[in-house]
């Protein structure tokens, strides 16, 4: 009888441990983590836009600052300005540590909105890319940014380039 009670107690302890300790350790740099973090920055930034200082050149770009921290930049289509991606309005979102975490490019083509979304980890890697066709491409361990001619990499390159330009201008 005592052996049965001990076995039952051991089984109960094992069941409790199974529910308390997860089977899979959650990686802080997983796709889900990066997307949730980017969305938090996106919605948090947009909810506070009225409280930010705005710098802009009408028709070219608009920056949103809180103290010395850049949180959002919008670049408008302008073939004369290298910071902009031709024919696209691009929104760049940065966290409080000045890391690009999200870029959103869009334009109207034949009356329909064509948009691209890129989610970047604070480690500078691409974790999710959504193309104009809505197709989602996830990179489980993140993909290093390679400077090839494609919109997903141009958004990152210009987003980080623009951040550095702003930082230099603020000094």
Q: Using alpha carbons only, give the angle 113, 115, 120 rounded to the nearest 5 degrees.
A: 160
Largest CA distance in the chain: 86
The closest alpha carbon to 38, from 159, 167, 161, belongs to 159
- Residues 55-63: contacts with CB under 8 Å, at least 24 apart: 60/84, 61/162, 63/166
Q: Give the number of other Cβ atoms within 10 Å of residue 21's Cβ.
A: 8
What is the per-residue pLDDT for 119?
94
What is the per-residue pLDDT for 91?
94
What is the side-by-side order of every strand in the sheet holding 112-120? 53-57, 61-66, 69-75, 89-94, 100-109, 112-120, 126-130, 136-143
What the block records as the tokens of 35 is 């997307």
Domain ranges in the chain? Answer: 26-170
Q: Are 124 and 118 in contact (CB under 8 A)?
A: no
What is the per-residue pLDDT for 19?
42
What is the per-residue pLDDT for 15?
42
Residues 6+ apart with CB under 8 A from 129: 116, 117, 118, 119, 136, 137, 139, 152
| Average pLDDT in the chain | 77
Residues 12-56: tens digit of each pLDDT? 444 434 444 333 333 456 899 999 999 999 999 999 999 999 988
What is the per-residue pLDDT for 167?
60
What is the per-residue pLDDT for 171?
45
Does the pTM of the predicted model rise above 0.85?
no
């Amino acid at each position: 009888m005592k052996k049965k009670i001990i076995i039952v107690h051991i089984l109960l302890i094992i069941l409790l441990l199974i529910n308390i300790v997860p089977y899979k350790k959650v990686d802080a740099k997983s796709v889900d983590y990066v997307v949730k973090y980017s969305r938090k920055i996106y919605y948090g930034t947009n909810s506070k836009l009225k409280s930010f200082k705005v710098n802009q050149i009408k028709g070219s770009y608009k920056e949103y600052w809180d103290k010395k921290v850049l949180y959002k930049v919008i670049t408008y289509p302008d073939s004369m300005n290298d910071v902009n991606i031709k024919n696209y309005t691009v929104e760049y979102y940065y966290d409080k540590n000045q890391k690009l975490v999200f870029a959103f490019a869009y334009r109207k083509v034949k009356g329909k909105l064509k948009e691209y979304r890129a989610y970047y980890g604070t480690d500078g890697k691409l974790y999710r890319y959504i193309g104009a066709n809505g197709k989602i491409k996830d990179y489980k361990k993140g993909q290093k940014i390679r400077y090839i001619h494609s919109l997903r990499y141009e958004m990152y390159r210009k987003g980080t380039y623009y951040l550095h330009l702003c930082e230099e201008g603020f000094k």
